[in-house]
Structure 1
Amino acid sequence: DYTQLFGRVQLQLNPRAPMTLQYPAVTDLPTYQRLARYRKGNPDYRLEEIYYQFGRYLLIASSRPGNLPANLQGMWANGVDGPWHVDYHNNINIQMNYWPACSTNLNECVWPLIDFIRTLVKPGEKTAQAYFGARGWTASISGNIFGFTSPLTDENMSWNFNPMAGPWLATHIWEYYDYTRDKKFLKEVGYDLIKSSANFAIDYLWHKPDGTYTAAPSTSPEHGPVDQGATFVHAVVREILLNAIDASKALGVDSKDRKQWQYVLNHLVPYQIGRYGQLMEWSTDIDDPKDEHRHVNHLFGLHPGHTLSPIMTPELTHAAKVVLEHRGDGATGWSMGWKLNQWARLQDGNHAYKLFGNLLKNGTLDNLWDTHPPFQIDGNFGGTAGITEMLLQSHMGFIQLLPALPDAWKEGSVKGLCAKGNFEINITWQDGKLKETVILSKAGEPCNLRYGNRTFTFKTTKGKKYKIMVENEKLKKIPL
C-alpha cells in the first residue's frame, strides 16, 4: 500500500561523486550526525535525496483518501489539543502541505484536501453573504473540521483578515484537474467549487470610478496595514479567474460567466513596481527594503500562482527578485521553503540551492522535521516541492526541463515526476546538461517541451512513451 505510492519517484544527485567528498562511512551515520556534518558545510547528496523523499513520506503518511488532510503538524501531535488548536491555517500553511502532491506523483493524497474544501462550501456561503454581501463561498485565515469559515473577530483583524483564503484553496481544485485532466472530476466535483469561488472574488472587488477593480479592504496576510488593494489579493483573484475561465472552456459551459470573469480580469488593478525597483506589496509605495518579514505574500503570482514568470513577464519578475533580495535568505523553516520555490521559479538554480541548504541547516530539526516552534510540517512539504521545481516546471503552458539546476548537482536523474497535462517524466543530466528525458503521456495531450532556449512540440498518444535528447543544439524525438 505504501510502496506503490512512494516508489513512483526516484531521485539521484551526483551518484558517482567520490566517497572522499561524502566521508567514507557517511551513509552509515545516524541522520542527526549527517545533518550536523552538513551544517558545517560538508556535502551530502544522499542526505539531500533523503530530505526530498522524507517530504513525500510525510504526505503519504498523513493524507490518504477518506481521512482528514494534513494539518500544521501533519498527523503528529502530543495529546488531544496541539499548537494552533490543530486547525488549518488557510493563508499558506495547508496549501503548502499540498504543493508537492501532484508533481511528485501522489495525486491520491490530494483527496483529503479536496474533501475538506467541499465541507467549507456551505458554511463558506454564509460567511460570503453575511460578511461581504457576495455570492459563492469563502474561508478565512483559520479553519477546522467543524466548518469554521469566519474571520477571527476576537483577534487583531489587521493580520488575520484574509477573505481570499477560499479562492486560494479553490485553485488547488484546478491544480488537481490540470495534472490529471480528469474531466469527470472537473464536471462532477471541481467546476462548481471553482465557479462559485470566482463569483465570490468578483463580488468582493470594488469597481472604482475609473473603471478598474480593486480589493478594498484587503491585507497582506500577517503583515502590514489594511489596504485598498493589496497585491496578494489581486494575485489570488487573477489565479482563480484564470482557473474558472479555463475550467469553463474545458467543459464548454457558462460562456456568459466566462465573459464577466475575463472582463474583471482585464480591468483588475495591475502589478506595480515601486521606488526601489521592487514589486509593491500594497497599493501605495510603502515597502521597506530592510523588512525581512517571513511572509512574501505579494509574490503569489510568481509562486504558487503563474501570472509572473521570467519568460512571460521579465520586468515584473525582476521586481519580484528585488523583493526576495530585500527579504533575505533566512527565516523560519516554512518561509525558507516558500522562498526556495520562488527562486526556482526565477530559474536561479544556485540561489534556490542556497535556500535549500539554509532550510536543511537552519530550518530542520535533527529528525528532519521542519522547525517553526515547536514543529510545523509545511516547511518539509515546501522543501520537497521546491526541489521538484528546480528540476521540472509546467505552470506556463509548457514543460520546462531542468529550469533551475544548480551547479552543485553536476549529474543525476529523477524518475516519475509529473507535469500538467498528465505527463509522467524521467530526466537524466550529465555535466550540468540535459542528457535525455523519457515522457509518458497519460492523457494523449500535445506535449510542449522547453529546455533552455530550445523548444519542441509534438502530438502524443495516450499510454505511449517518448524519448527526447539534445542533438545539434536541438531537442529531438528518438524512437523507443
Structure 2
Amino acid sequence: MKEGEDDVHLLPTFFQFGRYLLISSSRPGTMAANLQGIWNDALDPPWGSKFTININTQMNYWIAEVSGLGDLHFPVFDLLDAAHAAGVVTAKKYYNARGFCIHHNTDLWGDAVPIDGIGGGFWPLGGAWLTTHLWEHWLHSGDRTFLEQRAYPHLKQTAEFLLGYLQTDKDGHLVGGPSCSPENGYILPGTTQTKANLCMGPTMDQAIARGLFRQFVAASNELNRDADLRAEVEAAAKKLLPYKIGKHGQLQEWAEDYDEFEPGHRHISHLWGFHPDDQITLRQTPDLAAAVRVSLQRRLDAGSGSTGWSRSWIINQCARLEDGNLAYDNIKWFFRQSVRPNMFDVCGLKDNSPYQIDGNFGMPAGMTEMLLQSHGDVVRLLPALPGVWQDGSFQGFRARGGYTVNLTWKSGKPVSAVVLASRAGKLRLAVPHGSRVETVQLRGKSTGKAEGEEYVIEAEAGARYSVRFV
C-alpha cells in the first residue's frame, strides 16, 4: 500500500484495528478518546493531547454507532456534561446568551473559553457540534430514556445559545459571529495576500445551527416539550443565511465569496452540511451537492489531505458523493502518506510528524459510508462501491432507525442481506443502479413492496428480514 499497490486484506484489518482502538480508549466511565487516545507517552504531548472539537474529537466517534459500538459513545456525552457549567458562564459572559457553548478545544476539566489565538480558537460552536452526537445516538439506538434524560437538555440549551448568538445581517438573515471557518483563512479584500480569519456567518456555523435547530425541533416534538421554544427555533431556522455557490461553482466557505488564503487547506469545514450532516444530498439538493464536489476537487487539486484525519474526511465526503473509485483512491493515499508501520495514524507529511488517533477512526468510518448509508428512513446499500471491491460482505453495521445490516455482494452487486429491526418504523431499502430487491421475507412470508427505486417495509420491532437481490 505504501508503494501504491492494492491489498484487499489490509483494509478489514485496519477497520477492526480502529474498532479495537475505540474499545480500548473509550469505555463507559473512562475519559473520551482525545488526540492520542490512551497512547500518549509524553509529558508535553502534541496539542496537549486534549479534545480538539472542531473536527478531531468528533471524528474519533464517527465509527461508534455504525460499527455497533454505540455504548462507547458515552464518554463524549460525559465530556459534554463536564463542560456544561463552564459553558453556561462562557455563553453568558462572552455572548450574553442563554444556554451553553464550548469553543474549539476543551479538556478533562471542561474548559469552554477560546484558546490558542484568533486563527482557530475563536470558534464557539464546538459544543454544538458535539451535541449533535447525542442526537446520532438516539437515531441509532431509539433509546427514549436517553433522549429524554441526556440528549434533550443539551439540545435545548444549545438551541437557546444559538438564538442569542445569531445576529440579523443587513439583508435580514440570521448569521453567527464573530467566528471563523475552522481553521482556514481568506484573503482580505483589497489586498493580494493579507490573511484574515474572523467573519460573520461562516458556512460551517450556519450549517451546524441549521442542523441543531432541526434536531431540537424533532426532539421537542417527540417528547412533547417546550412548544414555545420550539416555535421560536422554527422561526429562526427559516431566517438562517442560506448556502451560496461561489464564482468557481464551489460551495462558499464564507458569507462573502472570498478567495482562500490556502486553497489546499486541511479542513473542509464548509462541507459539514453534506457530511457529517445530511442537509445537502445528491437527490434532494443536486445543485448544492455539485458545488460540494467542486469544493472538494479544488481542495484536492491544491494538495489537501496532508494529515490522516484530513484525508479521512475527504474519504467520507467522496462516499457521500457516491464516488467509490475516488474514495478508494484517497484510501490508497491515506495508507501511502498517513499510516505508520504499526498502523497508527500520522498528522502530517514529515518523517517525525506526530501520531494522532483521529484518522484511525475516520478512515474506517469512510469505509462504512462507502458500503452503507442511512438518512431519514432510507437505508442505502453499497452506495459507493469501488471497482476493486467486486466481492465482499459485512456484518453488524448499524443504520439510523435502529437497523442492523448484514450484506453479501458479488461482481459488484448485492446478493443477499439480513436486516434486524430493533424498533418499529418504515424502512426504505435502496440499492445501486442496475440492481433491485427481488424478495423480502419475514418468518417465511414475503413482505413489503417496491416504490420507485426503493423497497418499502413496515418494520416490526425485533423482526429479522431476509432480503434477496437481482
TM-score (norm 1): 0.88
| Residue pair 2:119, 2:183 contacting (<8 A) in 1 also | yes
Secondary structure of the structure 2 residue equivalent to 1:427 = strand
The question of 1:309 aligning with 2:309 is answered no
Counterpart of 1:362 in structure 2 is 337
Distance in 2 of aligned mates of 1:264 and 1:403: 34
The question of 1:450 aligning with 2:430 is answered yes
| Residue pair 1:72, 1:377 contacting (<8 A) in 2 also | yes
Counterpart of 1:255 in structure 2 is 227
| Residue pair 2:91, 2:161 contacting (<8 A) in 1 also | yes
Secondary structure of the structure 1 residue equivalent to 2:248 = coil
The question of 1:66 aligning with 2:29 is answered yes
Counterpart of 2:356 in structure 1 is 376
Q: Letter of the aligned partner of 1:115 in structure 2?
A: D
How big is the shift at 1:263? Answer: 1.2
Give the alignment partner of residue 131 of structure 2, picking from 170, 185, 188: 170
Give the alignment partner of residue 181 of structure 2, picking from 217, 220, 228: 220
Secondary structure of the structure 1 residue equivalent to 2:332 = helix
- Change in Cα spacing, 1:355 to 1:289, as seen in structure 2 (3 Å) is farther
How big is the shift at 1:396? Answer: 4.1
Secondary structure of the structure 1 residue equivalent to 2:298 = helix
The question of 1:395 aligning with 2:375 is answered yes
Secondary structure of the structure 2 residue equivalent to 1:228 = coil
How big is the shift at 1:230? Answer: 0.5
Counterpart of 1:462 in structure 2 is 461
Q: Work out the percentage of aligned pairs sharing the same amino acid.
A: 38
Give the gaps of 5 or more residues in structure 1. Answer: 1-37, 472-480
How big is the shift at 1:232? Answer: 0.8
Counterpart of 1:160 in structure 2 is 121
Give the alignment partner of residue 239 of structure 2, picking from 267, 284, 298: 267
The question of 1:116 aligning with 2:79 is answered yes
- Structure 1 segment 179-258 matched on structure 2, within 5 A: 179-224=140-185, 225-258=197-230
Distance in 1 of aligned mates of 2:405 and 2:315: 22
Give the alignment partner of residue 300 of structure 1, picking from 243, 256, 272: 272
Give the gaps of 5 or more residues in structure 2. Answer: 186-196, 348-352, 434-452
Deviation per CA, 1:257-278, whole angstroms, max 9, x where unpaired?
1121111111101000001000
| Residue pair 1:398, 1:448 contacting (<8 A) in 2 also | yes
Deviation per CA, 1:325-359, whole angstroms, max 9, x where unpaired?
01116421110001100110111111011111111
| Residue pair 1:290, 1:326 contacting (<8 A) in 2 also | no
| Residue pair 2:398, 2:404 contacting (<8 A) in 1 also | yes
| Residue pair 2:79, 2:110 contacting (<8 A) in 1 also | no
Secondary structure of the structure 2 residue equivalent to 1:388 = helix
Moved more, 54-63 or 72-81: 72-81
Distance in 1 of aligned mates of 2:432 and 2:240: 32
Q: Letter of the aligned partner of 2:150 in structure 1?
A: V
| Residue pair 1:195, 1:244 contacting (<8 A) in 2 also | yes
Q: Letter of the aligned partner of 2:101 in structure 1?
A: T
Secondary structure of the structure 2 residue equivalent to 1:440 = strand
Secondary structure of the structure 2 residue equivalent to 1:55 = helix
Q: Letter of the aligned partner of 2:144 in structure 1?
A: K
| Residue pair 2:23, 2:72 contacting (<8 A) in 1 also | yes
How big is the shift at 1:244? Answer: 0.5
Q: Letter of the aligned partner of 1:426 in structure 2?
A: N
How big is the shift at 1:209? Answer: 4.8
Q: Letter of the aligned partner of 2:112 in structure 1?
A: T
Moved more, 343-352 or 207-216: 207-216
| Residue pair 1:341, 1:386 contacting (<8 A) in 2 also | yes
How big is the shift at 1:80? Answer: 3.9
Give the alignment partner of residue 332 of structure 1, picking from 307, 324, 342: 307
How big is the shift at 1:81? Answer: 3.8
Secondary structure of the structure 1 residue equivalent to 2:336 = helix
Give the alignment partner of residue 428 of structure 1, picking from 408, 419, 426: 408
Q: Letter of the aligned partner of 1:417 in structure 2?
A: F
Q: Letter of the aligned partner of 2:128 in structure 1?
A: P
The question of 1:351 aligning with 2:316 is answered no
Deviation per CA, 1:213-235, whole angstroms, max 9, x where unpaired?
11131210111121121101101
Counterpart of 1:90 in structure 2 is 53
Distance in 2 of aligned mates of 1:254 and 1:312: 30
Distance in 2 of aligned mates of 1:353 and 1:404: 9
Q: Letter of the aligned partner of 1:69 in structure 2?
A: A
